[in-house]
Each structure stands twice: as C-alpha cells, then as structure tokens.
Amino acid sequence: MLIRYNGGEKKWEWEFTLLLETEGGKEFYNRLKTSTYELNLSFFSGETDSYLYMDYFESFPPLIQDNPTESIFPSNGDITSIKDDIIIYLVFESNKGYEEEKIGYIKTEGFAENILTLIGGNSNINLEFALERDEIENPDTTKIAEINKKIINVFIIGLFILIILIIIKFIV
C-alpha cells in the first residue's frame, strides 16, 4: 500500500501496512480496493508529539463505529483512528497513551522527516492513499472451477445410472 505526495516538482512515495485484524484497518482496506483516496491532512505540533490528522467529513465516513476504550502508545509512523479522526504520528515522546485504535503503520524509513520537510510553514498537506494493483484480493476462481467440475461429474454419473435403470426396467 502506498501513500503519495505530488506537489509539482516534489513527488514522494511511502509504503504503509494496514492491520486487517482491526475494524478501522479492514474498513480502510475495503475502501482502498475500489478507489484511491486523496486526504487533506492538517499538521499539529506540540511539546511531546506531532502528527497529521483528518477530521472526517461527508465524503469520507468514519473507519470505526465507536471510540476505542484501550489506550495505546503510538510509535512514529503509526496510523491510528478514533471515531472522528485519522491520525498519523510523526513524533511521539509522551508517557501518556491515547484511546485510539492502531489501524496501520508506515513501513518506509524517514517518513516523519520527509513530511516535516514538505510541510515547512504550512498547516495542511494532501496525501493520496492507494493499493498497488497486486495487493487487491481477487476471488480464487480455481476452487470455483473445481466445484463446477465435481457437480458436472455427479450429474453425468447420475444420468448414466438413470439410463441403466430404465434399460433394466424395460428388459425385466
């Protein structure tokens, strides 16, 4: 899975992984199977953490239904979600956890440094989230073909037995 930035002359691309065992990770993956998403993320910088976040709006409904109740301690590059936000941590140095669901993480080294360089004095950045074509799950058609062959074989054998029974009925 990829996150892309295309700011004219500067083009960046980073790999990320979604945690499909989480509600938000699975939901985001299902959405990415049908489309790419360009999200306008706002930048926040505090004393102990800095992150990108997106408040949900009508065209991008929440990834999770209810806010999580367990606290997590995000690492740099973690992608988390609460009911009203997607959050990507650039720096996290707090001893206080947050009640969020970790839905994924950035795999590419240097993501935080790249983003901080791109943001400069801005407070927003547009990033595109996309699946690579080979990551989209396609149904396993080999199993369907095997099942169809078995059904046809059973039908032919049944028809053959029926013909033999009819012949025996006429002979006797």
pTM exceeding 0.75: no
Spatial distance between the Cα atoms of 62 and 49, rounded to a whole number of angstroms:
23
pLDDT, greater one: 125 or 139: 125
Q: Note the pLDDT of residue 57.
A: 63
Residue entry with tokens 């240097």: 110
Residue-wise pLDDT tens digits, 139-159? 556 667 788 888 898 989 999
Q: Note the pLDDT of residue 12.
A: 87
Q: Average pLDDT of 117-135? A: 80
Q: Note the pLDDT of residue 123.
A: 82
The domain made up of 2-135 has a fold known as Cyclophilin (2.40.100)
pLDDT, mean over the chain: 85
By DSSP bridging, strand 85-92 and strand 49-55 are antiparallel
Portion of the chain with pLDDT greater than 70, in percent: 91
Spatial distance between the Cα atoms of 74 and 58, rounded to a whole number of angstroms:
27
Helix count (H) and strand count (E) of the chain? 3, 10
Longest Cα–Cα distance of the chain, Å, equals: 97
Domain ranges of the chain: 2-135, 139-172
Does the pLDDT at position 170 exceed 90? no
Q: Average pLDDT of 122-132? A: 86
Residue-wise pLDDT tens digits, 19-75? 999 999 999 999 898 888 888 888 988 888 889 998 766 567 888 889 898 889 999
The answer to whether the CB of 20 falls within 8 A of the CB of 103 is no
Q: Average pLDDT of 124-144? A: 71
Portion of the chain with pLDDT greater than 90, in percent: 30
Does the pLDDT at position 137 exceed 60? no
